[in-house]
Structure 1
Amino acid sequence: MDEEYDVIVLGTGLKECILSGLLSVDGLKVLHMDRNDYYGGESTSLSLVQLWKRFRSNDKPPELLGSSREYNVDMIPKFMMANGTLVRVLIRTGVTKYLNFKAVDGSFVYNNGKIYKVPATDVEALKSTLMGLFEKRRARKFFIYVQDYEDDDPKSHEGLDLNKVTTRDVISKYGLEDNTVDFIGHALALHRDDSYLDEPAIYTVKRMKLYAESLARFQGGSPYIYPLYGLGELPQGFARLSAVYGGTYMLNKPECKVEFDTDGKAYGVTSEGETAKCKKVVCDPSYLPDKVKKVGRVARAICIMSHPIPNTNDSHSVQIILPQKQLGRRSDMYVFCCSYAHNVAPKGKYIAFVSTEAETDHPETELKPGIDLLGPVDETFFDIYDRYEPANHDEHDNCFISTSYDPTTHFESTVQDVISMYKKITGKELDLSVDLSAASAAGEDA
C-alpha cells in the first residue's frame, strides 16, 4: 500500500472495471480497490440464495425454483448492441477472449396495449403489423433514407443538413404518424424521452443506423447480444485485463477513504491504517457521497418465471420498450428477459426485469404495465434505488466519479459515460477503430 500509483480506482462496478482495464493498457500504474469481497459492485450478478438474502433477509428460496448456483441474476441488466460501443471496447482490449456471447432473440415495442416486433429496415417496415398499408410505405421511404445516409456523400442527404434541421422536421417531411414516431424514437433510436425531436436529426439517424447495422451483424431477431452466465462476467473480464497489464487488485478493503491535501486535491486512499498515494482517483458515487448529487430514482421489478413472455414468439431472451406516451408517463419503461439459454437460470426458468425512472414511491403500481406483459410469475422482487451524478470539478480535485446506472436495458448510455471519463482522465480520445469482424467471431456462439 506504500507505493505511489497514477490512478486508484474504487469500486469494481462495470464502469470502474472498464476504466481500470483501459488505463492499464495505456501503461498507467493502477491500484483497484473495493470494500466488497466480490467483483461487480452495483452491477454484480447474484445466485438465488444471494438474491433472497438481499431482498427477503433470512428466508430461503423454495426448492421448486431449482439450484441456487445455476442462477446469475444481474442487478443492472442490460443488453449490448452487436455493433455498439461496448463491443468495440471489448474487441479493442481483447476482453472478448474471456467471454462468450449469444444473440438476443427479440426486440419489441409496446403500442396501444399490444407488443410488436420492432421493424428496423425498409423490408421489415413493409411486413410490420404495427402500421397500416399507407403508413408502411411512408415508413419504408424514411428507412431507406436513413439506410442510405452517409456523412460524406451529399447526394444521400436529399437537401437536408442533419446537423441543423431537427428530427421533428425530418419526420414531418415523410408525414409519419405519432405511433410510428414513437417506436422510431424510443425503440429504434433508443431515446429516453421526446426531447430528441427538437435536437439535430443527425443524432437520431446515427442511432437508427447503429440499430440496423447491429441487427444485420448476427442475422438474429434483435440487434443485441448478451454474455453467457450474465453480466457479472464483464467486470471480471476487464479486471483480468488490468491485471495482465500490471494493475493491482485488492478486494474486501473496508472504509476506503480518499485523502485530500490543503488545496482540496486527492492524493491517496487510506484503508486499514495504510495510505496508497496517487495522482487521480476514479470511483462510483458511493465512495465520495459529498461530491455527487441525486438526479433521480430507478424503480424495478425482478421476476422469476417458468415460461417465455407471451406474444414474443417464445423468445428465450427479449427486450420490450414501452414508450412514455403509450403509458401517459414522463419516461419510458423497459422489459428485459433472459433465461437458461444464456446460462443464467436452471432449465425451463426465465428471469424478467421491469424498470423505469421512478415517478412515485410505489414501484408495484408504477411497474404494473410492464409486469402485466409477463404472464404468470413465480416470484417477484421490487426495488427502488437512487441515481447520482458527479457534482465536483474533477480538474480541481482529481476525482473522477461515474454516474449511477439508468433504467435502460442496453449499454449505450453506460459506455458513453466511460468514454467521457476516459477523456477527462487521460486528456485524449479513446481509439475505437477496430475490426468488427472480430465481433462476429466473438459472437459465433451467438
Structure 2
Amino acid sequence: MDEEYDVIVLGTGLKECILSGLLSVNGLKVLHMDRNDYYGGESTSLNLKQLWKRFKGDDNPPETLGTSKDYNVDMIPKFMMANGGLVRVLIHTNVTKYLSFKAVDGSFVYNKGKIHKVPANDVEALKSPLMGLFEKRRARKFFIYVQDYDESDPKSHEGMDLHKVTAKELISKYGLDDNTIDFIGHALALHLDDSYLSQPAMDFVRRVKLYAESLARFRGGSPYIYPLYGLGELPQGFARLSAVYGGTYMLNKPECKVEFDENGKAYGVTSEGETAKCKKVVCDPSYLPDKVKKVGRVARAICIMSHPIPNTHDSPSVQVILPQKQLGRKSDMYLFCCSYSHNVAPKGKYIAFVTTEAETDNPKDELKPGIDLLGPVDEIFFDAYDRYEPTNQHDVDSCFISTSYDATTHFETTVNNVIDMYKKITGKELDLSVDLSAASAAEE
C-alpha cells in the first residue's frame, strides 16, 4: 500500500472495471480496491441462494426452482448492441478472449396495448402490423434515407444539414405518425424521452443506423448480444485485463477513505491504517457521497418464470421497450428476459426484469403495466435504488465519479459515461475505430 499510483479505482462495478482496464492498457499504474469481497459492485450477478438472501433474508429457496448454482441473476441487467460502444471497447482491449457471447433472440416494442416485433429496415417495415399500408410506404422511404445516409457524401443528404435540422423536422419530411415516431425514437434510436425531437437530427440518424448495423451483424432476431453466464463475467474480464497490464487488485478492503490535501485535492486512499498515494481517484458514487447529488430512482421487479414472455415468438431472450407515451408516463419502461439459453437459469426457467425510472412513491404500481405482460410468474422480487450524478469539479479535486446505472436494459448510456470519464482522466479520446470483423472470436 505504501506505493504511489497514477490512479486508484474504488469499487469493482462494471464502469470502474472497464476504466481500470483501459487506464492500465494506456500505461497508467493502477490500484483497484473494493470494500466488498466480490467483483461487480452494484452490477454483480447472484445465484439463487444469494438472490433469496438479499430479498427474502434467508438462503432457502424452494427446490422446485432448481439448483442455486444454475442461476446467474444480474442486478443491473443490460444487453449490448452488437455494433455498439461496449463491443468496440471489448475488441479494442481484447477482453473478448475471456468471454463468450450469444445473440439475443428478440427485440420488441409495446404499442396500443400489444407487443410487436421492432421493424429495423425497409423490408421489415412493410411486413409490420405496427403500421397501415400508407404509413408503411412513408416509413420505408425514411428507412431507405437512413440506410443510404453517408456523412461524407453530400449527395446522400438530400439537401439537409443534420447538424442543423432537428429530428422532428427530418421526421416531418416523411409525414410519419406519432406511433411510428414512438417506436423509431425509443425502440430503435433508444432515446430515453422525447427531448431528442428538438435536437439536431444527426445523433438520431446515427442511432437508427447503429441499430440496423447491429442487427446485420448476426442476421438474427435482434441487434443485441449478451454474455453466457450473465454480466458478472464482464467486470472480471476487465479486471484480468488490468492485471495483465500491471494493475493491482485488493478486494475486501474496509472503509477505503479518500484523503484530501489542504487545497481539497485527492492524494490517496486509506484502508486499515495504511494510505496508498495517487494522482487521481476514480470511483462510483457510494465512495464519495458528499460529491454527488440524487437525480432519480430506478424501480424494478425481478421475476422467475417457467415460460418466455407471451407474444414474443417464444424467444428465450428478449428486450421489450414500452415507450413513455404508450403508458402515459414521462419515462420508458423496459422488459428484459433471459434464460437457460444464456446459462443464467436452469433448463425451462426464465429470468425477467421490469425496470423504469420511478415517478411516484408507489413504484410497484408503476411497474404493473410491464408485469402484466409477463403472464404467470413463479417468484417476484421488488427492488429500487437511487441514481446519483457527480457534482464535483474533477480538475480541482482530482476525483472522477461515475453516474449510477439508469433503467435502460441496453448498454449505450453506460458506455457513453465510461468514454466521457476516460477522456477527462487521460485528456485523450478513446480510439474505438476497431475492425468489428475481428469480433468473430467473441461470437457464438
Specify if TM > 0.5. Answer: yes
In the TM superposition, residue 433 of structure 1 has moved relative to its aligned partner by 1.4
* Letter paired with 1:241: L
Which secondary structure state, in structure 1, belongs to the residue aligned with residue 222 of structure 2?
A: coil
Who is 1:114 aligned against? 114
Distance 1:389 1:120 in 2: 33
Deviations 1:256-280 (A, max 9, x none): 0000000000000000000000000
Distance 1:63 1:359 in 2: 37
Who is 2:276 aligned against? 276
2:304 aligned with 1:329 = no
Who is 1:380 aligned against? 380
* Letter paired with 1:94: N
In the TM superposition, residue 441 of structure 1 has moved relative to its aligned partner by 3.1
2:263 aligned with 1:285 = no
* Letter paired with 2:201: A
Written as runs of structure 1 = structure 2, the 5 A alignment for 1:399-438 is 399-438=399-438
Distance 2:437 2:264 in 1: 47
Distance 1:214 1:440 in 2: 14
* Letter paired with 2:139: A
Distance 1:4 1:367 in 2: 48
Which secondary structure state, in structure 1, belongs to the residue aligned with residue 267 of structure 2?
A: strand
2:381 aligned with 1:365 = no
* Letter paired with 2:262: T
Distance 1:98 1:361 in 2: 42
Written as runs of structure 1 = structure 2, the 5 A alignment for 1:153-168 is 153-168=153-168
2:194 aligned with 1:175 = no
In the TM superposition, residue 239 of structure 1 has moved relative to its aligned partner by 0.1
Contact 1:285 1:390 in 2 (8 A): yes
Distance 2:352 2:131 in 1: 28
Which secondary structure state, in structure 2, belongs to the residue aligned with residue 367 of structure 1?
A: helix
* Letter paired with 1:108: F
Which secondary structure state, in structure 2, belongs to the residue aligned with residue 408 of structure 1?
A: coil
Contact 1:34 1:253 in 2 (8 A): yes
Written as runs of structure 1 = structure 2, the 5 A alignment for 1:31-180 is 31-58=31-58, 60-180=60-180
Contact 1:217 1:440 in 2 (8 A): no
Distance 2:153 2:27 in 1: 39
With the length of structure 2 as denominator, give the TM-score of the two structures: 0.99
* Letter paired with 1:354: V
Distance 1:282 1:46 in 2: 25
Structure-2 change in CA distance of 1:50 and 1:59 (3 Å): closer
Contact 2:96 2:441 in 1 (8 A): no
Deviations 1:208-258 (A, max 9, x none): 000000000011100000000000000000000000000000000000000
Distance 1:46 1:438 in 2: 31
Deviations 1:128-171 (A, max 9, x none): 11100110000000000000001011110011110001010011
Distance 2:15 2:337 in 1: 22
Distance 1:59 1:236 in 2: 25
Distance 2:412 2:440 in 1: 19
Q: CA RMSD in A?
A: 0.6
Distance 2:334 2:442 in 1: 27
Moved segments of 4+, more than 3 Å: none
Contact 2:394 2:400 in 1 (8 A): yes
Which secondary structure state, in structure 2, belongs to the residue aligned with residue 165 of structure 1?
A: coil
Contact 1:306 1:350 in 2 (8 A): yes
Contact 1:38 1:251 in 2 (8 A): yes
In the TM superposition, residue 59 of structure 1 has moved relative to its aligned partner by 5.5
* Letter paired with 1:359: E
Who is 1:215 aligned against? 215
Which secondary structure state, in structure 1, belongs to the residue aligned with residue 135 of structure 2?
A: helix
Distance 1:125 1:366 in 2: 31
Which residues of structure 2 form unaligned runs of 5+? none
Which secondary structure state, in structure 2, belongs to the residue aligned with residue 309 of structure 1?
A: coil
2:440 aligned with 1:440 = yes
* Letter paired with 2:418: V
Contact 1:81 1:211 in 2 (8 A): yes
Who is 1:27 aligned against? 27
Contact 2:188 2:207 in 1 (8 A): yes
Q: How many residues align?
A: 444
In the TM superposition, residue 438 of structure 1 has moved relative to its aligned partner by 1.5
* Letter paired with 1:215: L
Contact 1:82 1:439 in 2 (8 A): no
Contact 2:97 2:441 in 1 (8 A): no
Distance 1:145 1:439 in 2: 28
Contact 1:364 1:382 in 2 (8 A): yes
Contact 2:126 2:140 in 1 (8 A): yes
Who is 2:304 aligned against? 304
